[in-house]
Structure 1
Amino acid sequence: MQRATESAYAKINLGLQIAGRRDDGYHDLVTVFQMVGPADEVTVNPSQPGLHTRSTGPFRIRDDDRHLCARAARVYCAATGIQPAFDIFCRKYIPVGAGLGGGSSDAAATLRALEKMHRAGVDLEKLGARIGSDVAFFIQGGTALGTARGEHLLHAPTVHATPVVLVKPKAGINTHGAYALLTPGDYSDGTRTLELFARLSAGDNPLELTDLMGNDFQTPIERTYPELTDVRVSIERAGAARAMLSGSGSCVFGLFAETAAAERCARELSEAGYWTYSTRMLHCGPSGTR
């Protein structure tokens, strides 16, 4: 059996509205996921019985059984009856604690790699939903509406390849801590994000839909982390049509009309000491091809 390698792209949330807290402790969301660069790289190698993970790269994480790649492999093996005998190698280029979904994307890439190796015919999106709220989205990627915890998905056709800049301060934000900052006054009904997705699915240019974009985390997060307000304002001053928090942060993204302006913004904020990345909206299929 040959090894399998999959790219694990990042995501931003073009819209994120939180409808309220559920009885099970999770929150009901209405969100538009959008795949962007950069990408981690996940390789699964056949090995002796057992399961081992290792990560490298600028954002490497601890190598232990809590790694989401390891959890994904265990879920896959439990669903298929396959005995684990894998080495999983993850090159990390997506910042941690950024709201870009790097860990979830790595888990999805692990599921895709294992399915490529074993051809078990399992529903990877359903398996992904068992691992984490964002994992199901990353199985296919592209542009999608997420509801419930984010795991109920409706995929959109290809959208415009709009230039995007990602900017992250050194501090990361824990997702659970971000949810703890929410009050009932931060919740909304999701109608704006539903309209945003409908317009994107109809082929409208994202730059013409910025009034429909928003993130219910943004106000409480910026109140607690004022540096993120400074980052957002800097991106707006650099010419972004819209700048906002991705997920629960701490990454802020900007949408631009021109690649040159996006790259200039990324360069200037990198010189100011921030991690930056100039990319574009990507549309990926189940194979991970763009």
Structure 2
Amino acid sequence: MKRSYSHYLMVGYVALFIGFLLLPLLIAGGAAFNDTRFPSVWPWKASTLHWFTQMAENHQLLVAVWNTLMLAVGVTLLSVPIGTAAAIVLNNTKGKSRALLYAVMTAPILTPAAVVGISTLIFWRGVNVPAGIFMTTLGVSSIISAFVMLLVLARLQSFDRALEDAALDLGATNWQVLTMVMLPHLRPAIAVGAMIAFLQALEAFNVPLFARGNAETVTIYIASQVRIGVTPQINALAVIMILIAVAGGVTYEIVRRREHRRSLKLESLAHAAEQAEERGEPIY
């Protein structure tokens, strides 16, 4: 059976797309194992783990990694509840005020990050908040919260409001409706929002550049090292981060598939129980 030109064109496009995504990662990771002073994979001199050892002994880099992790965790803890609450409020808002509220909530995404960084520094210093990781967390969260809000808002479009009414008619409180009816439906969007918030905080640069004070994140450390020459220690750190990201993605997919199978099983049992009830059979 002959394959059409469109098939080969699609295969070629997919291969180029995957190569475009993965080739830079492979080159960056490979440079961590090459025994050269500057990051490169060509010419290949010798295989070594020397740069991983150097990275583990680089106190300044380790402090930057710790600050970055603290920033990412703080941004996630702030952005997820703020973005989720904003999505629920926006979803329940009707009329012309909805468009205005939507524009205000999405404004941080459209604003250049450098402007957000300067605004963060000016505003929070005005209320006696010192520059540092805490101020940086507040500034980055103002941007990431909008992303989380959009994700949760999209998920809310598939939420059946009749479930809320039914729960309230059965005597549930508003808090019970929120925690037992709405939030379980929003769980996938909240999980994805938390993942995006964490990853986006890891690579934040413009806001930390202005709001960090004397603290240093990984992106700021790399930018400062560019002036004197970056060593493959950064590539060694990149390899570890890539492995962690891959492990996180695989874990998420395993959990997602397990939850999907569980939901299909529950739907099957509910359908079987409904059919048994229609036939007048006892349900055990």
Shared fold (TM-score, shorter chain, > 0.5) = no
Q: Which has the higher helix share?
A: 2
TM-score (norm 1): 0.24
Larger Rg: 2
TM-score (norm 2): 0.24
Q: Which has the higher strand share?
A: 1
